[in-house]
Amino acid sequence: MASTGTLFLIFAVTFIREGNAQNTFVNVNCKENVGQYGQQSLLECIVQTTSEASDIQIRVVTWRRQGADKPALVFHDGRIDPKSSFTFAEPSWNNKNMNVSVLIPNTRVADNGRYTCMVMTNSGDGKGEVNLKVTAKYSEPIISSIPEKITPGSNGELTCETHGGYPKGDIRWFVNDNTDWTKSSKMEVKGAQDGLLHLSSKLPLLHGSIFSKYTCIVYNATGGKEAEAVFIPDPEVEEHTAVYQVSGESVTLECSFTESPNSNDELIGMYLYHDAKTQEQVLYYHSSPGPEKISPRIRYSKRVEKRGSLKKHTITISNLTVEDSGIYRCVYKKNVQSEDIRNVYILVVSEVAPYSVSKKESEPDGSEECLPLMLIIGVTSAVSIMVTMIFTWLIVPKVKQWTSRRRIRNVPQQSNEYVYEIMTKNGLCPLGASD
């Protein structure tokens, strides 16, 4: 059997000869197709002949991807080259079958491209071309955040990642319901060894943002939506401490990075922010370069005092005014981009102290000293009344009853003769007396 190089040389010479002879007996018609990564793909071409041609037999079939060093399938001398990576679509194919379509068993990104199918028959030669577009669906996107916990209105960054797709797709960001926010993001594309792509899009979050929902949507190369992920800032209300002070006084705020001041967390500094109508910095506490020190802003210059170390210290603000009211946050930083909110205070500064009383009302008038005596008198009176009632209701009736019984027992007993004498004097006769 002739070598593959010799075969193609013969085929090329024959093809040119037949083309110059204005051969119109054989045509190869092909259809465009889309192949899915990891699945079978069909390259469809059919040989069509004119009515003048009869008893057509195929002598040579060659499939080649443009730019490839070797053909993908070669049929010659009634057999398929065993080195072919493609197979005919019809398992029982023979040289009288005009369907020269082929199957790609396991489609790869490398199979993407344009293919040429060349056919030589006993009645002439023909050529057809087909384009295979390999696609791979992107994975479900995953959104991560820096810092890990993000609350509405805080600084940070969201990253949406997806992989395993082809060709290049797109990642778009939407805030709340359907407002496109992609213009604020930046996407990066990386290729893997298998040719599949990894997409990554970063969306910075600026302080004061009021968005409550971020949606990352992955689109394929044709603009079709493939998958999405949703990120919702932590709705948990920040734990805070309420502090009330009077204008002119001072307030002390504690800032602590961790419950263990000796932890190994490396910090570059801490900001103390004041939020009212707008956010402003009170001071920056930095540990490098040089020794630890604070840098207060102009409005707080000479009004702040620090005690302690960076990981656990107190900040005292003196000469408070009503304008100092608002929310104070201790925000620690491990690097330039990261922020970690640790302590939150709500400070209310008023012109006068709440629940204040006048000097006259606050002066002692001796009433507190009389209170125990009045209490003793009241309790004594109540006990006396109760004793009197008990004596009236219970003791007096018993005494009366006892006295009556005693009088009855002390009456002298009279004899029968005395009774008889009294009755005779009154002209009464005893029962049973004779006339």
pLDDT tens digits for range 72-100: 999 988 888 888 889 999 988 998 899 99
**Domains 142-231 and 240-258+265-350 belong to one CATH topology:** yes
CA-to-CA separations, 144 to 86, 159, 207, in angstroms, rounded: 43, 5, 18
Higher pLDDT among residues 209 and 44, named by residue: 44
**Phi, psi dihedrals of residue 70, rounded to the nearest 5°:** -125, 155
Mean pLDDT value across the chain: 78
Rg (CA), the chain: 54
Helix (H) or strand (E) holding 351: none
CA-to-CA separations, 346 to 188, 238, 240, 343, in angstroms, rounded: 42, 11, 7, 10
pLDDT score, position 373: 55
Candidate from 112-126, 139-153, 162-176 with smallest mean pLDDT? 139-153
In angstroms, the CA 169 to CA 187 distance is 10
What pairs with residue 219 in β-bridges?
A: 170, 225
SS3 (DSSP) at 420: helix
Candidate from 58-67, 131-140, 384-393 with smallest mean pLDDT? 384-393
Kindly tell me if the per-residue pLDDT of 45 is higher than 60.
yes
| Token representation of residue 109 | 């990104």
Are the C-beta atoms of 347 and 246 separated by less than 8 Å?
A: no
CATH of domain 240-258+265-350: 2.60.40.10
Class of domain 142-231: mainly beta
In angstroms, the CA 58 to CA 92 distance is 15
Superfamily of domain 26-134: Immunoglobulins (2.60.40.10)
Pick from 86, 109, 91, 90: nearest CA to 38: 109
Pick from 144, 31, 33, 42: nearest CA to 102: 42
pLDDT score, position 393: 52
Pick from 18, 64, 27: nearest CA to 47: 27
Domains of the chain by residue range: 26-134, 142-231, 240-258+265-350
User: By CB neighbour count within 10 A (0-12 exposed, 13-18 middle, 19+ buried), where does 51 fall?
Assistant: exposed
Higher pLDDT among residues 346 and 260, named by residue: 346
pLDDT score, position 55: 81
CA-to-CA separations, 393 to 204, 381, 388, 397, in angstroms, rounded: 89, 18, 9, 7
| DSSP 8-state secondary structure symbol assigned to residue 206 | -
Q: What is the mean pLDDT of residues 393-413?
A: 47
User: Residue for token digits 């009004």?
Assistant: 303
- Position 408 confidence tier, pLDDT thresholds 50, 70, 90: very low
Candidate from 82-96, 146-160, 178-192 with smallest mean pLDDT? 146-160
Q: What is the mean pLDDT of residues 260-272?
A: 69
Are the C-beta atoms of 343 and 330 separated by less than 8 Å?
A: yes
Q: What is the dihedral of CA 339, 345, 349, 353, to 10 degrees?
A: -170
In angstroms, the CA 115 to CA 73 distance is 11
Kindly tell me if the per-residue pLDDT of 410 is higher than 80.
no
| Whether the bond into 235 is cis, omega within 30 of 0 | no
Helix (H) or strand (E) holding 403: helix 396-409
Q: What is the mean pLDDT of residues 379-383?
A: 55
- Position 380 confidence tier, pLDDT thresholds 50, 70, 90: low
In angstroms, the CA 368 to CA 70 distance is 111
* pTM of the predicted model over 0.85: no
Residue type at 62 in one-letter notation = T
**Phi, psi dihedrals of residue 232, rounded to the nearest 5°:** -120, 120
Kindly tell me if the per-residue pLDDT of 24 is higher than 80.
no
